[in-house]
Amino acid sequence: MSENVITLTTANFDETIRSATTPVLVDFWAEWCGPCKQIDPVIREIATEQAGALTVAKLNVDDHGDIAMRFKVMSIPTMIVFKNGEAVDTLVGARGKAALLRDLAPHLG
């Protein structure tokens, strides 16, 4: 199911966000962040269930700090929803699947 989750880098970030035909949920994470690990399976489940309605991607802030800085990420996990290349919503902090789906609902119309 992991093939539903795109790994973002400095090289492919802008192109991926701009060319997506659905809203894109980007999960900013790092290896050393416990709550990031907790939500990883949640994010992957949502990617599978919402395939076609939502593009799910992950960005490692350790490797690509420039992108994290560009979007003023100061805490992880932070999840940013992009529509047509624009950041339209920012969700800071881990949460359960039901809560995350509730927060994403406005973008899944």
Partner 1 sequence: MTTHPHRNVIIIGSGPAGLTAAIYVARASLSPLVIEGEPSSTSDQPGGQLMLTTEVENFPGFPEGVQGPELMQRMRDQAARFGAEFLTEKATKIDFSSHPHRVWVRDDEYTADVVIVSTGARSLMLGLENEARLIGHGVSTCATCDGFFFRGQEIVVVGGGDSAIEEASFLTKFASKVTIIHRRDKFRASKIMQERALANPKISVRWNAQVTRIVGEAKLSAIEVTDTVTGATDTMNIGGLFVAIGHRPNTDVFAGVLDMDDNGYLVTQPGSSRTNVPGVFACGDVQDHTYRQAITAAGSGCMAAIDAERWLEHHHGSANK
Other CB atoms within a 10 A radius of the CB of residue 62 amount to 13
Among 17, 50, 95, 107, binds partner 1 (CB under 8 A): 95
CB atoms within 10 A of CB 38: 13
Nearest residue (CB) to partner 1, 23 versus 77: 77
CB of 1 to partner 1, least distance (A): 16
Q: Work out whether 23 is an interface residue with partner 1 (CB under 8 A).
A: no
Is 39 known to be catalytic? no
Give least dist CB 73 to partner 1, A: 7
- How far is residue 66's CA from residue 21's CA, in Å, rounded to a whole number? 25
Q: How many CB atoms lie within 10 A of CB 73?
A: 20
Q: Which stretch binds partner 1 (CB under 8 A): 3-11, 14-22, 38-46, 80-88?
A: 38-46
- The count of other CB atoms within 10 Å of the CB of residue 18 is 12
- The single residue among 11, 52, 74, 109 that binds partner 1, judged by CB under 8 A, is 74
